[in-house]
Amino acid sequence: GAVVSQHPSWVICKSGTSVKIECRSLDFQATTMFWYRQFPKQSLMLMATSNEGSKATYEQGVEKDKFLINHASLTLSTLTVTSAHPEDSSFYICSARENIGQGNSGNTIYFGEGSWLTVV
């Protein structure tokens, strides 16, 4: 199947600094990517939908100024956690929708390996 790669897999940063996580679709183009946050032993919480060439759509309760999303190309979306605090420590996962033909609902969605963020 298609491959989505996230980098870095692990990152530790100091409180107050910013950290960027990259999400790449390696062998397909993705006009839409999604960013999730997952707490231990819980399901995934959708943070935002990243659209290539336009602004991201954030879910209710997600601070867009804190979680900056950029989708500059058809294969790359980035999530920047600005002024990180310990409560931002979490597992962040991206996914990418494979564009195949007409319509969108039936397209397969592939996930990255996830990125562990620890803010100290």
Q: 88 or 115: whose CB is closer to other proteins?
A: 115
Residue from 22, 49, 52, 62 in contact with other proteins (CB under 8 A): 49
Task: Indicate if the alpha-carbon torsion angle 55, 56, 60, 64 is positive or negative.
Answer: negative
Residue from 77, 78, 90, 95 in contact with other proteins (CB under 8 A): 95
Alpha carbon distance 67, 19 (integer Å)? 10
Q: 40 or 86: whose CB is closer to other proteins?
A: 40
DSSP β-bridge partners for residue 12: 118
Alpha carbon distance 47, 117 (integer Å)? 15
The distance of closest approach from Cβ of residue 1 to other proteins in the complex, given in angstroms and rounded to an integer, is: 6
